[in-house]
Amino acid sequence: MLGLPPNAEAARLLDRMDAMPADRDETPAVRPDPHKHPGLWRHLERCHRDMISQMGSGLAGNGYRGFPAFPVDAGPVALHLYVWLCLPCEGRT
């Protein structure tokens, strides 16, 4: 299972990534949970596996394909999901 950093570590990483203070403060409050958000958690794990598998391989000739966007009404956990995707990867490159 994907391990997310504790909230204090997440705030430190967001600060290091120069996140805006409001975003840094809001992100821990909308932490994805595998039991409360099983669909989002599965998506997060799939994206994490994809991201890790491509780290260090360079940019493909057709560019990076990115991840699908969530609609604005998807809710705060979904809208912050890709932030949580990046936090466990910080420092791995």
Average pLDDT over residues 72-77: 94
Mean pLDDT of the chain: 88
Nearest by Cα to 5 from 84, 80, 79 = 84
pTM: predicted TM-score of the whole model, two decimal places: 0.85
Mean pLDDT of the region 60-75: 85
**Residue-level pLDDT at 93:** 45
- Whether residue 12 has pLDDT greater than 70: yes
Q: What average pLDDT does this structure show over 31-46?
A: 96
User: Residue 24: pLDDT above 90?
Assistant: no
